[in-house]
Amino acid sequence: MGNYSMCIPVALKITDQNMVNKILIIFLIFISNIFFSQDTDTSYIKVDYEVSFLIDTANVNSKKIENTTLLIGKRSSYFKSSYKAVADSLGKQIAKRSLENPINGQVILKTGSLPSAKFKPEVYYIGGKSTIYDQLGRDGYSFESPNKINWQVENTRKKINGFDCQKAIADYGNKKITAWFTSEIPISEGPYTFKGLPGLVLEAYDDKEYFHFKLSGIKKGVEMPVGNIPWSVKTSYEKFYKKRKDMMDDPISSFISVFGKRPSKESEEQIIKNIRRLNNHLD
């Protein structure tokens, strides 16, 4: 059997039907690990946030706005871009149809039309621990959040979408975070890793507003699989940080490691610029 690269999109042309069946079984297991959660927790509330953020902290015109979703279950929660949620759902359907209906010995997954998210991080929270999933190039990594948040609750209050909210502040790595939570929804949850307050966080932002999350909707009684971290390289934050720094310091080497060849001289400058402009990191 030759070497087959299991990447998406992918096309496998195999003439032997037994081999096709074996490949399909392997592919189904592989796809299941990516798209189907191993966790059985079910959400009972869905919270939507609009997040505005800068791609490049040196360029105010690089601001993006994206919708994100927090699914809260009895034991766990999952937070990620709504575009990713849609892409995952559609991708699962495409994978299932393609794997069940090979045409002339070919399994083809066409995912070019799937929504693409600019906000990459995802957070799985269970047992008081936040696991962050993030991407570097084409690779996904997961690691435990390095920041333990010690909130200081203040007396300042304001209304958000009709909810009475109270202010809390905290240091978060090299950032100062402000969060507004409501005790009217006594769930210690919030966007990203901003959890642990005596009420649901409806708004959160850093002191420079490089990131700003704000409630856009709440739906109770929404029963959906909470989800889990997708297939990824499990690592520590320190190793992830170093790999990201190495990529920023030497973008061309990172390009070669991904594509297996050096870019043309004409494109090197643009590649370096494109990679280094991705410098706004919430962690």
Specify if 191 maps to a domain: yes
**Residue 111 falls within a domain, yes or no?**
yes
What confidence score (pLDDT) does residue 258 get? 74
Specify the range with the lowest mean pLDDT, choosing from 4-13, 66-75, 137-146: 4-13
Q: Model confidence at 95, in pLDDT bands (50, 70, 90)?
A: low
User: Taking the model in full, what pTM does it have?
Assistant: 0.78
The answer on 246 and 137 residing in a single domain is: no
The verdict on residue 3 lying in a domain is: no
CATH number of the domain where residue 30 is located:
2.50.20
What is the pLDDT averaged over residues 184-204?
98
The reported pLDDT for the residue numbered 254 is 79
Is residue 4 included in any domain, yes or no? no
Q: Could you tell me if 37 and 144 lie in one domain? A: yes
Say whether pLDDT at 10 is over 50. Answer: no
Let me know whether 186 and 266 are in one domain. Answer: no
Residue 163: domain span = 10-220
The count of domains in the chain is: 2
Higher pLDDT, 11 or 196: 196
Does a structural domain hold residue 260? Answer: yes
pLDDT band at 117 (very low <50, low <70, confident <90, very high): confident
**What rounded mean pLDDT belongs to the chain?**
83
Strand partners, 201: 181
Residue 120 and residue 183 in one domain: yes
**Domain contains 5:** no
Q: Does the residue 57 lie in any domain?
A: yes
Residues 76 and 216 in one domain: yes
Alpha-carbon gap, residue 83 to 70, rounded angstroms: 13
CA–CA distance, 80 with 133 (Å, rounded to integer): 9
Question: 173 with 186: CB under 8 angstroms?
Answer: no
251 and 206 together in one domain: no
Are both 115 and 31 inside the same structural domain? yes
- 24 pLDDT above the threshold of 90: no
Q: In this structure, is residue 185 part of a structural domain?
A: yes
How much of the chain, in percent, has pLDDT values that exceed 70? 75
On the question of pLDDT at 23 being above 50, the answer is no
CA 283 – CA 227 distance, rounded (Å):
21
178, two tokens: 């402000």
- Nearest-10 crossing angle of helices 265-276, 237-249: 140
